[in-house]
Amino acid sequence: MDLEPIYAGEGQNVTPDDFRKHGRQVVDWIADYLENVEKYPVLSQVESGDIRRRLPASPPLHNEPFDKMLADVNEILLPGITHWQSPNFFAYYPSNNSGPSILGDLIASGLGIQGMLWSTSPACTELETLVLDWLVEAMGLPGSFRSTGAGGGVIQDSASSASLCALLAARERATGFQSNRTGIDRPLTAYASSQAHSSIEKAMMISGLGADNLRLIELDDQFRMRPDALQAAIESDLAAGKTPCFVCAAVGTTSTGAVDPLPEIGPICRKHGLWLHVDGAMAGTAAICPEFRTILQGLEWADSYCFNPHKWMLVNFDCDCFFVADRTSLIKTLSILPEYLKNKATESGAVIDYRDWQIPLGRRFRSLKLWFVLRYFGLDGLRSMVRYHVSLARQFASWVEASDDFEIAAPVVLNLVCFRHRGGDEVNQRIMDRLNQSGELYLTHTKLDGRLTLRMSIGQTNTELSHVQRAWDRIASAAHQGN
């Protein structure tokens, strides 16, 4: 063995050979899991406290064999897993995954670097900048988001963090970059549609703007933000002496997948000097296909944009791509340089230090898994995945439309179908509970116009027509079962 012991004590050293042996076991374990994932109930069926009760109350004093740990994963933890990687997972929005992504992430763990500064691992920063520039090209995003101009991209953990960073930059820009120093000295307001994700309200809470200063703008009949209502809300706040500073438009709202009209929202923001952030968390991936890029029409008005490869682009959680058109405002908002982080590369001004583009200091090497996915599948592979999921959603919607019992509840834009039984909320709730308890598939709901609505969200890597067909059969038969 050519490594020094990591821990003193008999049997506690991890030799390279031990690591190889257990590493192979784990890779086999993951391959077996993914191969057999359909065997498990999609929604975990355990009761609260079941998992904890089966585990020791205190940590082990002495080392335990690795095989025992893996056995406990199988026997104790697996029953408490909801299987997001099951092709029968149709809940929320997907968090899909792929072999190259898992392996890229494993290499990132093996390297164990922390990429807060360019100098703490130049490859971490430079690969991230490159891969995000690749995506600008691959998805037809505005050229202003490229790092070679005034903008650039950064990987955040989640869309929530991206929106918070955007809101903070908006706050700073609107206050002449003073509120970071002296606190907010004027009443700032922000705007999003009443269907915006709750992370926008949370960002208002965290940023100090206050959730009550978020105006929830009314919708049109397709659940999209109404630009005339946005304009009116801004004007009313201006008349009341407030300072409007931020608009979040959604490209693919969480409830229905509605796309807010950027070509009309953009000019309103520009006219009043508001920061426009576009949240494309799930739907944004579709822009990899030229024919779906209409969803991003008007994105050139945006100051910032984010989408999550960890939702629908085969990259395992976590990976949110956040782009800004003017990186200076973001960096001015989030930069702080204590003595212990000073270094020559930073002082030269020639490098990106991504710690200045996010809330935490430390950061993982997330671009590695994204890079692996882009290279392994190529744009063609990702495009065919997106097209397939969209066509499955359209197929599912056609079955709903042809049914006497169910109706479509919102326009089907991409891979989400909102639908409901005509019998009302109780019937829909009963259908959903019955299906989820069966373990055969997992569906979740939303409320539209006050009515409980089921969501069929199609985006797991291995979902095929047979899964969607079976889901529809189960839904239809659950509707026919009595109370």
Which spans of this chain sit near ligand PLP (rule: CB under 6 A)?
Answer: 93, 158-160, 197, 199, 250, 252-254, 279, 281-282, 308, 320
Least distance to ligand PLP, CB of residue 252, Å: 6
The helix or strand, by DSSP H or E, that contains position 204, with its residue range, turns out to be: helix 198-207
Least distance to ligand PLP, CB of residue 315, Å: 12
Candidates 386, 425, 421; CA nearest to 407 is 421
* Residue 118 Cα distances to 127, 211, 261, 332, 354, angstroms: 11, 36, 38, 18, 7
| Beta carbon nearer to ligand PLP, 198 or 483 | 198
Instruction: Please give the Cα distance from 376 to 315 (Å, whole number).
Output: 12
Least distance to ligand PLP, CB of residue 311, Å: 7
| Beta carbon nearer to ligand PLP, 152 or 252 | 252
Whether 457 contacts 446, CB under 8 Å: no
Least distance to ligand PLP, CB of residue 353, Å: 23
| Strands in 102-199 per DSSP E | 152-156, 188-193
| Beta carbon nearer to ligand PLP, 209 or 248 | 248
Instruction: Please give the Cα distance from 323 to 480 (Å, whole number).
Output: 48
Least distance to ligand PLP, CB of residue 163, Å: 7
Least distance to ligand PLP, CB of residue 261, Å: 16
Encode 105-137: b = buried (16+ Cβ within 10 Å), e = exposed: bbebeeeebebbbbebbeebbebbbebbbebbe
Q: Is 190 exposed, middle or buried (0-12, 13-18, 19+ CB in 10 A)?
A: buried
Strand order in the sheet with 416-421: 406-408, 416-421, 451-457, 444-448
Least distance to ligand PLP, CB of residue 158, Å: 3
Least distance to ligand PLP, CB of residue 317, Å: 8
Name all contacts of 105-112 with Cβ < 8 Å and 24+ positions apart. Answer: 105/316, 105/368, 105/369, 107/368, 108/364, 108/365, 108/366, 108/368, 108/369, 111/365
Cα angle: 182, vertex 184, 185; to 5 degrees = 90
| Beta carbon nearer to ligand PLP, 171 or 197 | 197
| Beta carbon nearer to ligand PLP, 259 or 392 | 259
| Beta carbon nearer to ligand PLP, 281 or 468 | 281
| Beta carbon nearer to ligand PLP, 119 or 194 | 194
Which residues are 452's β-sheet partners? 447
Least distance to ligand PLP, CB of residue 283, Å: 8
Least distance to ligand PLP, CB of residue 93, Å: 4
| Beta carbon nearer to ligand PLP, 133 or 320 | 320
| Beta carbon nearer to ligand PLP, 155 or 397 | 155
Instruction: Please give the Cα distance from 391 to 386 (Å, whole number).
Output: 9
| Beta carbon nearer to ligand PLP, 200 or 330 | 200
Nearby residues of 351 by Cβ (< 8 Å), 6 or more positions away: 118, 119, 122, 125, 345
Token duo for residue 272: 């009043």
Instruction: Please give the Cα distance from 194 to 51 (Å, whole number).
Output: 38
Instruction: Please give the Cα distance from 181 to 366 (Å, whole number).
Output: 31
